[in-house]
Amino acid sequence: MKMILLGPPGAGKGTQAKGIAARYGIAHISTGDMLRAEVREGTPLGREAKSYMDKGQLVPDEVIIGMVKNRIAAPDCEKGFLFDGFPRTIAQAEALEKITDIDRVVDIEVPDERLIARISGRRMCPLCGATYHVSTYGSDKCSCGGVLYQRDDDRAETVAVRLTEYHKKTAPLIDYYAQKGKLLTVNGDAPVDAVADEIARELDA
Ligand code: AMP
């Protein structure tokens, strides 16, 4: 099972990806999480990526493609994998096609005005990557013990750039995968469990 989760920043891709990957026993591959780990470790790749991420811009395709190629060669990807946040451009999708075949693409749709509220209230755990929303979670500690923080690129100034990048460069992938007959669309403007149920129904159908 090789899948892609598409959707704008704040659509809930990370949250849903964890559930889907666990359900199918496949690896969850978040290029955003991989890049943040590189930034934390201060690697050359992390230093290059950070300059784009801080501005809300996409990291260059060749950096991402190289990183993904290595990742899917790992043993935990043998049974399949779910991409969360990749591909984000047509060039990335075309490069991916040369490396492997994708079975399904799930597009989580949420209107822009909802995304801004979701992203600005989002808090993340530096240890396990879990995300919470200030409106529904009253603590500053993750269930794993990590102290929650706000991602630099979740601040209002950067969110606008990320949404523009999404509409210009990533949204064309919806048509791209629809034309290949691989696209499933779910309404992401609903409670987490309802979205998870809709995704499961679509995938089982
Ligand atoms: P995310 O955690 O998926 O929202 O990603 C955070 C940031 O990492 C994005 O705003 C981009 O700067 C960068 N990024 C993550 N995945 C990709 C990708 N597939 N292509 C380009 N940039 C990416």
Our answer on whether the CB atom of 38 is closer than 6 Å to any ligand 1 atom is no
Specify whether 88 is catalytic. yes
DSSP per residue, 102-168? --EEEEEE--HHHHHHHHHTEEE-TTT--EEETTT---SB-TTSPBPB--GGGSHHHHHHHHHHIII
Residues 187-199 have pLDDT tens digits of 999 999 999 999 9
> What percentage of the chain carries pLDDT values higher than 70?
100
CA distance 92 to 68: 10
Ligand 1 geometric centre to CA of 38 (Å): 12
Ligand 1 geometric centre to CA of 46 (Å): 12
Specify whether 122 is catalytic. yes
pLDDT of residue 129: 86
Beta bridge partners of 194: none
From the CA of 35, give the closest atom in ligand 1. 8
Reply yes or no on whether the pLDDT at 150 is more than 90: yes
Residues 57-94 have pLDDT tens digits of 999 999 999 999 999 999 999 999 999 999 999 999 99
Specify whether 36 is catalytic. no
Average pLDDT for residues 151-169, to the nearest whole number?
92
